[in-house]
């Protein structure tokens, strides 16, 4: 398209030179060609500039960050349902669009001090996670998986290996662990007393886990605080 437009302009410029009826045809051709070539660089520059302006990409649109609310200085996505678990209070609070809606008693891993660092340490993780899946469970009524380990857990595990904080069994470091979630309880006495009994999961009363199960979906935020 650019070549055709340029040729058209050059032809117009060449034709604009007045012809002398008595001029020899070869002399007339030479004069017209010289005039056309004189304008060619400027014509090409103009066309390339116009083309560049026409094809300049639009600046990318900056999308606004999704709204959040803060719990203990941690930003949690605001839209929809979010679960906030406070280990020191043994509570699970349901937030809807950033507003606390309901609260349930929970118990945690039996070695309750500190965040989970490796498989078998009997601790409940601490940090911001998301629901990965949910399904009925024959023992605990329902199980809601969370995204432990997250990137911070992986980094802490690596530091633990470097500084000797991860146990070595049969010449191998204990793994980082997994399969952590929120579920119901078959330890009715401990659950009623608020005594931690799990291997690292968060346990609710069987009647309460059904409420949470119906509220959450994959990617629901789950914040676990000390």
Residue 129 parent element (H or E): strand 127-137
- For the full predicted model, state whether its pTM sits above 0.75: no
Cis peptide before 149 (omega within 30 of 0): yes
Residue 14 is predicted with a pLDDT of 46
State the average pLDDT over residues 138-160. 97
State the average pLDDT over residues 106-134. 95
Residue 13 is predicted with a pLDDT of 44
> Mind listing the domains of the chain with CATH numbers?
2-55 (no CATH), 68-225 (2.40.440.10)
Residues 6+ positions from 123 with CB-CB distance below 8 Å? 109, 111, 112, 113, 114, 115, 116, 117, 200
Q: How do residues 2-25 score in pLDDT, each as one tens digit?
A: 444 445 544 544 454 444 555 555
Cα–Cα distance for residue pair 23/61, rounded to 1 Å: 62
State the average pLDDT over residues 127-151. 97
Residues 6+ positions from 119 with CB-CB distance below 8 Å? 174, 175, 176, 177, 178
Cα–Cα distance for residue pair 94/103, rounded to 1 Å: 6
- Give the pair of three-digit tokens for residue 166: 């991860």
Q: How confident is the prediction for the chain on average, in pLDDT?
A: 83
- Give the pair of three-digit tokens for residue 169: 């069994």
Q: How do residues 164-221 score in pLDDT, each as one tens digit?
A: 999 999 999 999 999 999 999 999 999 999 999 999 999 999 999 999 999 999 999 9
């Amino acid at each position: 398209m650019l070549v055709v437009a340029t040729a058209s302009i050059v032809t117009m410029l060449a034709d604009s030179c007045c012809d002398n009826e008595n001029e020899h045809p070869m002399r007339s051709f030479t004069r017209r060609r010289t005039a056309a070539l004189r304008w060619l660089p400027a014509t090409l520059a103009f066309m390339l500039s116009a083309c560049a302006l026409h094809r300049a990409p639009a600046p990318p649109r900056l999308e606004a960050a999704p709204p959040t609310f803060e719990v203990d200085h941690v930003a949690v996505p605001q839209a929809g349902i979010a679960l906030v678990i406070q280990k020191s209070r043994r509570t699970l609070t349901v937030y809807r669009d950033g507003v606390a809606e309901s609260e349930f008693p929970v118990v945690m891993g039996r070695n309750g001090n500190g965040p989970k660092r490796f498989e078998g340490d009997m601790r409940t993780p601490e940090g911001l996670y998301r629901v990965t899946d949910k399904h009925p469970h024959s023992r605990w009524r329902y199980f809601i998986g969370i995204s432990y380990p997250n990137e911070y857990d992986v980094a802490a595990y690596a530091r633990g290996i470097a500084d000797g904080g991860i146990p070595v069994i049969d010449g191998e470091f204990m793994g980082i662990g997994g399969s952590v979630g929120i579920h119901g309880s078959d330890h009715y006495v401990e659950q009623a007393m608020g005594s931690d009994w799990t291997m690292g999961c968060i346990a609710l009363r069987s009647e309460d886990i059904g409420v949470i199960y119906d509220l959450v979906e994959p990617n629901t935020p789950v914040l676990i605080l000390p």
